[in-house]
Structure 1
Amino acid sequence: MHGNPMNIPPVSIAAAKAALIEQYSDPTLRRRASMLWGTRGVGKSSIVRQVAEHFGIPLVDLRLTTIEPVDIRGAIYADEALAKTVWFPPEFLPTPNQHEGILFLDELTAADQRLQISAYSLILDRRVGNYHLPDGWQVVAAGNASFHGAISHDMGTALADRMFHFNVQTVIDAFLAHALAADFAPEVMAYLKIRPDKLDDTQAQLAGDHLIGASPRGWEDISNVLKSGLSDGAKRLFVQGRIGAANAAEFFGVLREIQAGVDVVRLLAARPGPETAALLPKTLDALYGMIYGLLAASHDVPALARALEIIEQLPDIRGTMPLPIREAQTLAMELFMQRGLDAGLEAAILDSPAYHRYGERRQLESQHA
């Protein structure tokens, strides 16, 4: 494909997952293959695995760049009784007694074109050679287009016409929700909340003809680096080596601002009132760093209740520049409620006087709006 031929609107990875779940639930639609287009690290393979887990069905994951054409077609042997040569299907393809599941053809557009012929047979005809894919199985493929900056072979219109297509792009809110659930380093979440354009800089990477750039998968690696026991010097080298020197320089600049502007441990130990107000952050970077830092530290009821008191005091910030205090409070309360629901601590939030006062204030503001 040359240029950007995607004449379908982009969808979030969460929307694509929900659509695949609904497709699998319909026996007729299940027989039509779906294709996930998207840049590296966007989570295409992850959602296919999650759909299989959702239904409790087997998943056959074929990374097409790691196998040979004969691996799909199988091995040929001579049947003397039939006086014919016949094909043994490969062991990894679903057998007739496996009545339902998902066959995932990953890296379809990057595969050798001879291999694509066999893969296309599974997509177009649900068969290859003498092998037939059982009726209850859904075929999902994934790959990159040339404008994603990856190795890609053209897909013909005849094949494209046999599939549902999803133009998957990363949405920052969905990624941050995933990052929170996966316990990313709070500094990474705070940085991407402030700099959402840095979640995936593929286009800038291609424009600058750079080999290394930022991607959702890369930020997961950066989180693991920050949470590791590496020295500061080694962390810098690993971050540079994962997202590029320019991105790393900006990230570490914000990281210094976050670390200098808030001390979550001291905040949690401080008494409500003036003592807490004196420790509140005064810059945007530090504000979001504090929110995600408090989330990471709120693993029990006392810490959660104290964190909500701190969030309630955000209007006490007296900085030299205006900050989005109300928006930050709303974001924090939503994140803490989600954290509480995930950890079974929602009762602690609902019983919190600080949360009650926040809810009453929001209700009054909506009545006077």
Structure 2
Amino acid sequence: MNTIFSVTQKQLYDFLLNVAPVRPVFIWGAPGIGKSAIVENFASELGLPCVSLLGSQLAPEDIIGVPQIKDGYSVFCPPKMIARNEPYCLFLDELNACSQEVQKAFYSLIHEQRIGEFILPEGTIVIGAGNRAQDSAIVKPMSSALINRMVHVQLRASHRDWLEWAYAHEIHPYVIEYIQMRPDHLWSEPPKTEEPFSTPRSWHMLSDCLYAYGKSLGETDIDILASSCLSPHTASQFKAFLKQIQSKYDLAKIINGELRWPDQPDERDLLYFMAQSLRAQLIKELPTEHTTLKANQRQLAFRAKDLIKDLSAISLEIAQMVVAEHKGEALPAWFMLEVIRDLPRLVAKKDG
């Protein structure tokens, strides 16, 4: 479902507010990105109870009910969870993880809001959600008949929306500060192997664990918690970030020339994190086109070239990492041209 238009958490809420009352909606998205939480909050805002059914755990009779003999006729009795007298939000989670037989049981429920002779209360909202095939999750092909009964939208992670939520829900300050510095680490693609990976949900779990340890949190505890919740690369960067907090080093001071790069052998993880942070800041703040460059951005670009030169003297590999393209993200082409052109001159000037 890569062709579906993707939206942020806030955009999805507005979409549901306008579309869900008139048509059933299906939300595609990676695990841990916040699909369930958004639907539950949406229902709460509307004053509707949210009834969740987990598609991967359903059998057809859980939807259509079981037959009983009444006046000589068989009558299907719908499940109590669904057969309610007042309107509610019916959330069909992991809908595309259920079997083809269960999918068929949903046809009339989704399209006509009806199960046999029982009609859902007027004002009831039906929303489905599920992971994508590329997410290494339990998913099954969704029949074309079921797809065509719903309006589809894809949810993507937004660090701005998530940070706003994180402040409101008092997520641990370490987590908030880290995502502010490295918003690209909020979410990572689910791995093909069985290992933790970074999602908004896993950062929330890490926050709870950090609070649980409280003041007794030690370096070993941080190693264990970060590795237990986050992608391996992000976990190592988060540990280096906390080490940076406890040290004298600060990226702003390094950029301003108040401090130099950490250059001791036992500071290599810290150096790597600071260099990654510089790269992230350059990608975020430098414009794509040189013609739109502002004075402060020009000053940052000039200083960054000096810092990359100094960094290469400590670790050529880490300096190359700063300027290399990674996962489709690269420094602006005009800046790379200046680095290639000016770096030999800067080195020669220093040697002279």
* Alignment correspondent of 1:218: 202
SS across alignment from 1:189 = helix
Which string of whole-angstrom CA distances, capped at 9 and with x for unpartnered residues, describes residues 265-294 of structure 1? xxxxxxxxxxxxxxxx7325x99xxxxxxx
Count of residue correspondences: 262
Q: Does 1:133 align with 2:120?
A: yes
Once the two structures are superposed, the pairs formed by residues 141-290 of structure 1 within 5 Å of their partners are 141-202=128-189, 205-206=191-192, 209-229=193-213, 231-232=217-218, 233-261=220-248, 282-284=250-252
Once the two structures are superposed, the pairs formed by residues 73-152 of structure 1 within 5 Å of their partners are 73-79=64-70, 81=71, 83-95=72-84, 97-98=85-86, 100-152=87-139
SS across alignment from 2:142 = coil
1:31 touches 1:139 (CA, 8 Å); kept in 2?
Answer: no
Residue 59 of structure 1 deviates from its aligned partner by 1.9
Q: Does 1:11 align with 2:7?
A: yes
Q: For the residues of structure 2 that align with 1:114 and 1:259, how far apart are their CA atoms?
A: 57
Instruction: State percent identity of aligned pairs.
Output: 29
Q: For the residues of structure 2 that align with 1:137 and 1:317, how far apart are their CA atoms?
A: 61
Residue 9 of structure 1 deviates from its aligned partner by 2.3
Residue 106 of structure 1 deviates from its aligned partner by 0.8
1:41 touches 1:217 (CA, 8 Å); kept in 2?
Answer: yes
Alpha-carbon spacing, 1:235–1:228, altered in 2? closer, same or farther (3 Å) = farther
- Which moves more between the two structures, 138-147 or 236-245? 236-245
Residue 58 of structure 1 deviates from its aligned partner by 2.2
Residue 316 of structure 1 deviates from its aligned partner by 9.7
2:131 touches 2:137 (CA, 8 Å); kept in 1?
Answer: yes
SS across alignment from 2:160 = helix
- What is the TM-score of this pair, normalised by structure 1? 0.64
Q: Match of 1:282, as an amino acid?
A: D
- Which moves more between the two structures, 10-19 or 128-137? 128-137
2:196 touches 2:230 (CA, 8 Å); kept in 1?
Answer: yes
* Alignment correspondent of 1:264: none
Alpha-carbon spacing, 1:197–1:316, altered in 2? closer, same or farther (3 Å) = closer
- What is the TM-score of this pair, normalised by structure 2? 0.67
SS across alignment from 2:151 = strand
Q: Match of 1:140, as an amino acid?
A: I
Q: Match of 2:182, as an amino acid?
A: R
Q: For the residues of structure 1 that align with 2:130 and 2:28, how far apart are their CA atoms?
A: 5
Which string of whole-angstrom CA distances, capped at 9 and with x for unpartnered residues, describes residues 75-103 of structure 1? 21222x2x1221111111143x31x3211
2:188 touches 2:231 (CA, 8 Å); kept in 1?
Answer: no
SS across alignment from 1:136 = coil
Q: For the residues of structure 1 that align with 2:154 and 2:58, how far apart are their CA atoms?
A: 26
SS across alignment from 2:124 = strand
* Alignment correspondent of 1:58: 49
Aligned counterpart for 1:45 among listed residues 14, 20, 36: 36
Q: For the residues of structure 2 that align with 1:257 and 1:198, how far apart are their CA atoms?
A: 17
Which string of whole-angstrom CA distances, capped at 9 and with x for unpartnered residues, describes residues 28-74 of structure 1? xx241001111111111111111111121222221222333212111
Unaligned runs of 5+ in 1: 25-29, 262-280, 288-314, 328-369
* Alignment correspondent of 1:366: none
SS across alignment from 2:121 = coil
Once the two structures are superposed, the pairs formed by residues 304-319 of structure 1 within 5 Å of their partners are 318-319=258-259
Q: For the residues of structure 2 that align with 1:102 and 1:147, how far apart are their CA atoms?
A: 28
